[in-house]
A = this chain, B = another copy of it.
Amino acid sequence: MAPFGRFLDHPLRSLAEEAAGAALKDAGLTADDIDVIFFSNSVAGITTGQEAIRGQTALRGTGLLGKPVFNVENACASGSSAFLLARTGLLAGAWRRALVVGAEKMTHADKSIPFKALAAASDLSEIPEGTDTGGKSVFMDLYAERTREYMARSGATQEDLAAVVVKNRRHAGLNPAAQFRTPVTLEAVLASGEVAWPLTRFMCSPVSDGAAAIVLDAGEDNTTNRPAVEVLASVMASADPAEPANYVARVARMAYEAAGVGPDDIDVVELHDAASPAELEYSEALGLCPEGGGPDLLRSGATTLGGRLPINPGGGLVARGHPVGATGVAQLVEIAVQLRGEAGPRQAEGARIGLVQNAGGSVGGATAASAVHILARR
């Protein structure tokens, strides 16, 4: 993973090159060892003007061209989509080694551009003509409404939503690649400025630049002398606007079944806290606690590093940062590092099986792309 942050002067290309190079080095491989590249990016067309062949342009300096490059997009779940398709290609025997690169350049000298870019991850036909997308994500009003419903249902308080941020910022403080590495207090989160009640600014994932990359190998080969990580399941669905609820629970069930494990077997989790309340909701949908039990799970300390089931040990989207097309890949990198036992001060003790949940886009109030992956230390 290349560091996430606000790098106004770094082009998409330098972010992608750094992550791709780091992944190859980590695997002890060179560009020649790679058979295919899956490139995840969501909004470069709007932030940089480059469409169509984003991976080829971003990676042209890496020696990787000459292999097939597939450009894959699914809003905030672009990274999961690229990873899933790469794995599928290896399972089919089409290629032996794939490089998955997720990269996103969100910051822009024109500060309205990142929000225009985020708006393009929802169905534009649903956004009333003339809506001002400058300065705020159109998603945050949607998230706020969902959060109010969730609070009424579960008894979660605004303090719970803030406590998720306190936890994830503490985790991010132990992650050198995270965007926000300074701890914050509950009071500071609550006082960070209202976005749409009950959401405050620190509860929302920031505008970020960044990239992450993964080498997938189809064989039993381990090119390093370190623990290998196996993908037990990689599942994706789009939600049906006619039945938008519980899609994460459905995808999770499919993933548990494919992996042959259940929620009790999971040791560590990275989930999609685009806004902090999502962490509580998704804990329930993933079966990590009973329905309505998200706030209790958080309050028990189980999901903090040192607890029995660390959630978002890398800092999550609210603290590691959220460069849209890179996020899903970064989540997978964090879990792989955890399962290898290489997470240093943020290590989830003895983690053997990890889960990644990643979601993106909105169509008719339904999530456009929703993924769950389950990985295991071999």
Chain A residues within CB distance 8 Å of chain B: 13, 42-43, 45-46, 48-54, 56-57, 60, 65-75, 78, 81, 85, 88-89, 91-94, 117, 120-125, 236-243, 324, 360-364, 366, 368-369
Contact, CB under 8 Å: B50 / A120:
yes
> Which among A13, A42, A66, A238 has the highest number of chain B CB atoms within 10 Å?
A238
Residues of B within 8 A of A91 (CB): 92-94
* Complex-state Cα separation, A93 to B49, whole angstroms: 37
- Sorted nearest first, the 7 A-B pairs with minimum C-beta distance are A45-B45, A66-B240, A53-B361, A92-B92, A51-B120, A91-B92, A52-B75
Indicate whether A123 sits within 8 Å of B66 (C-beta atoms), given known contacts A51-B43, A71-B74, A88-B92: no
* Complex-state Cα separation, A81 to B85, whole angstroms: 12
Residues of B within 8 A of A45 (CB): 43, 45-46, 51, 120
Indicate whether A56 sits within 8 Å of B89 (C-beta atoms), given known contacts A65-B366, A72-B70: no
Indicate whether A243 sits within 8 Å of B68 (C-beta atoms), given known contacts A57-B125, A120-B45: no
Contact, CB under 8 Å: A124 / B57:
yes
* Complex-state Cα separation, A91 to B51, whole angstroms: 29
* Complex-state Cα separation, A49 to B332, whole angstroms: 30
Residues of B within 8 A of A53 (CB): 73-75, 121-123, 360-363, 368-369
From DSSP, what is the main secondary structure of chain A's interface residues? mixed
> Which among A13, A57, A81, A237 has the highest number of chain B CB atoms within 10 Å?
A57
* Complex-state Cα separation, A277 to B361, whole angstroms: 42
Query: Given B48, B49, B93, B368, which contacts A69 in the complex, CB threshold below 8 Å?
Result: B368
Contact, CB under 8 Å: B238 / A69:
yes
Contact, CB under 8 Å: B239 / A65:
yes
Contact, CB under 8 Å: B369 / A65:
no
* Complex-state Cα separation, A53 to B68, whole angstroms: 23
Closest chain-B Cβ to A372's Cβ sits at a distance in Å of: 12
Contact, CB under 8 Å: B89 / A243:
no
Residues of B within 8 A of A369 (CB): 53, 56, 68-69
Query: Given B69, B88, B94, B121, which contacts A94 in the complex, CB threshold below 8 Å?
Result: B88
Residues of B within 8 A of A368 (CB): 52-53, 56, 69
Residues of B within 8 A of A117 (CB): 51
Residues of B within 8 A of A70 (CB): 72, 74, 81, 85, 236
